[in-house]
Amino acid sequence: MTNTIFESMSAAPPDHPQLASPATATDAGLTPDVTGFYDATTGSMQYVVADPLTRRCAVIDPVLDFDPRSGSTRTTSADRLLKHIEAHGLTLKWILDTHPHADHFSAAGYLKDMTGASTGIGERVVEVQRLWKAIYNLPDSIPVDGSQWGRLFADGERFTVGEMEASVLLSPGHTLCSVTYIMGNAAFVHDTLFMLDSGTARADFPGGDARQLWRTIQRILQLPSDTRLFSGHDYRPNGRRASGESTIAAQRAHNLHLKNCDESRFVKLRTERDRTLPMPALMLSALQVNLAGGRLPAPENDGRRYLKIPLNAFPQASWG
């Protein structure tokens, strides 16, 4: 089993995220090979998850690098994933987003073009697309039906990575459409539970809800206590080494935002904390790309692509 974190070299940023019956782990005895890749520029974790029997794999939440100062993109982070997959004799079958990210561009489109692997996201992404289409005032020609992905997953839906069965757990709170992917004894929770000393994700984006986040977290915590949890961010409090892995048992006992907490206390804590957080620097740029499945806007008549920024759409947001 691999369980390695590879870090990028840039400096990490400061900290700035009624459901159905509880999920159970899928093929809980199976231990997938998990390799994490840490992008220090955005504090993001990307994962390659492999079936140890067939060597088929999935990529979860890949990053397309973007420099807002120059407006340039590059594929360095995504290419590291491809090199790892090739070096370890893996075959990429799935490119999975847990939700449309507000703090980095998704590389799902690029990886799809490079490998032909299937793409997937939670089915409620169409609600988020409709919400942000109005904010961006996008033309009717831009689809809001989720067709930018190959598969839209419903809560409880199952699929396979090689011979390894995976399941999908609807996980709203951070966004309307967030999902958790459960593969063997591993669950990929992205912006719900962070590392123990970082607590939980913010819930103040359009469509977010702190109460829903609490209920999502309670549902996740009903997984077996030894389930390995893989978070999608690590903001490295006190500059410690990047890490994305914890367990259900550790989260129950030691998560900074969950200790001695009930629903009302959590909602108060999360809401008050969110009021102090600045909007993610890339949010208005990233969402129009990520809601298109990681595709950059189409070239205009001069051959260039342009991002559209809605001015004063969030005047109440903290300036940091």
pLDDT, mean of residues 150-168: 97
pLDDT, mean of residues 291-296: 96
Instruction: Determine the pLDDT at residue 30.
Output: 84
Is the pLDDT score of 77 beyond 70? yes
pLDDT band at 3 (very low <50, low <70, confident <90, very high): low
32-75 pLDDT per residue, tens: 999 999 999 999 999 999 999 999 999 999 999 999 999 999 99
pLDDT band at 141 (very low <50, low <70, confident <90, very high): confident
DSSP β-bridge partners for residue 183: 166, 186
pLDDT band at 27 (very low <50, low <70, confident <90, very high): low
Q: What predicted TM-score, i.e. pTM, was given to this entire model?
A: 0.91
Instruction: Determine the pLDDT at residue 26.
Output: 52
pLDDT, mean of residues 221-228: 97
Instruction: Determine the pLDDT at residue 316.
Output: 75
Instruction: Determine the pLDDT at residue 315.
Output: 82
CA distance 241 to 235: 10
Question: Residue 297: CB partners within 8 Å, gap ≥ 6?
Answer: 288, 289, 305, 306, 307, 308
Assign residue 260 a region (left: φ > 0; alpha: ψ between -120 and 50; beta: otherwise). Answer: left
Mean pLDDT for the chain overall: 91
Assign residue 254 a region (left: φ > 0; alpha: ψ between -120 and 50; beta: otherwise). Answer: alpha
pLDDT band at 286 (very low <50, low <70, confident <90, very high): very high
Is the pLDDT score of 119 beyond 50? yes
Instruction: Determine the pLDDT at residue 202.
Output: 97
The C-alpha angle 218, 267, 221, rounded to 5 degrees, equals 10
Helix (H, G, I), strand (E, B) or coil at 63: strand
